[in-house]
Amino acid sequence: MSLYYRPLPQLDAARPADALTLAGGWCWFDRVEVLSRTAPPRIVPAADVPQDVLLRLTAPRASVAGLGMGQVQIMGILNVTPDSFSDGGSFIAPDAALAQAIAMQADGASIIDIGGESTRPGAALVPDAEELARTAPVIAALREQSDIAISIDTRKGGVARAAVAMGAGLINDISAMTWDPQMAQIAADSGQPICLMHAKGDPETMQADPQYDDVLLDVFDYLADRIAVAEAAGIPRDRIVVDPGIGFGKTQEHNLALLRRLSLFHAFGCPILLGASRKRFIGTITGAQAAADRMAGSLAVTLAGVAQGVQIHRVHDTKEAKAACDMARALRGQD
């Protein structure tokens, strides 16, 4: 598309009578930033935006894994890997993983994202059978003990299919179905939603000097293409979640540029997932060298995403993120 329409989300209690609700959620807007690759940005009244664009900006989002998108949802990260950047090795044993999942649920997570392959910068490929051996026992045990929503963090169709058969309600594919040619059909046949994330390159090479013409618009166009592929494969748009892929083939400035204008991605008419928790750029900005010390910076990013209407927040610190989001909701005057 030649023009891109980014709603300017507001949370103020003094809402104009003609303001529109963003994505059926907690933000409103009455102005839109019009972006282009060939002209400077300009701000226009929402009434000047094409009706088809306004419909996608305002339409309530379909539920994801049984979770309503009219409110913030906290996704707890559960890495059953030996080498994830923040907690690698901590939950590799199934009993430890199950205990962590139950603890995150008690702390306020509404969905647990289980991954058996590290996707940190420089991470090596994990064979399908090994990834499945890491994730399957945890999914089975968690489903036996809890009805919490489960997401499978994988780019491999076979792993996704097995996880859905055991009760996963969301496929979270960092490759947006580009790694495994079977993923699109497997996701379509599953009947479950899929999260399509932008990544530039694979984990082994993605941080080797990533370049963009315009990171915001390049990421948007990539996701638009992947949504089209998903729809062509039989995955309706109301079963698609989008993720701009913070930290996946992006410099600090790329990450900040995306975070400042996250609301652009509402133009797809899909829920947005934000996964920035404890990432390196947060440590660089805040001076927190250890990943575990980046909670404060991570919470700031989460709340910035909430202020732009982002529905799903993938975090390590579930208790603190839930408390921060609850406090923000109270300040907005919502029950």
Q: Specify whether 200 is catalytic.
A: no
Q: Residue 3 has which token pair? A: 């023009």
- Decide if 259 contacts 246 (C-beta within 8 A): yes
- Decide if 57 contacts 33 (C-beta within 8 A): no
- CA 223, CA 37: separation in Å to the nearest integer? 17
**SS3 at position 124:** coil
- Tokens 């199934």 map to which residue? 94
Q: Which of 155, 226, 278, 314 is catalytic?
A: 314
Q: Specify whether 322 is catalytic.
A: no
Q: What are phi and psi of 273, to 5 degrees?
A: -110, 135
- Decide if 65 contacts 304 (C-beta within 8 A): no
Pick the closest to residue 73 from 327, 329, 310, 328 (CA basis): 310
Q: How far apart are the first and last CA of the chain?
A: 39
Q: Which of 155, 261, 279, 294 is catalytic?
A: 279
Q: Residue 311 has which token pair? A: 């529905």
The residues annotated with a catalytic role in the active site are: 279, 314
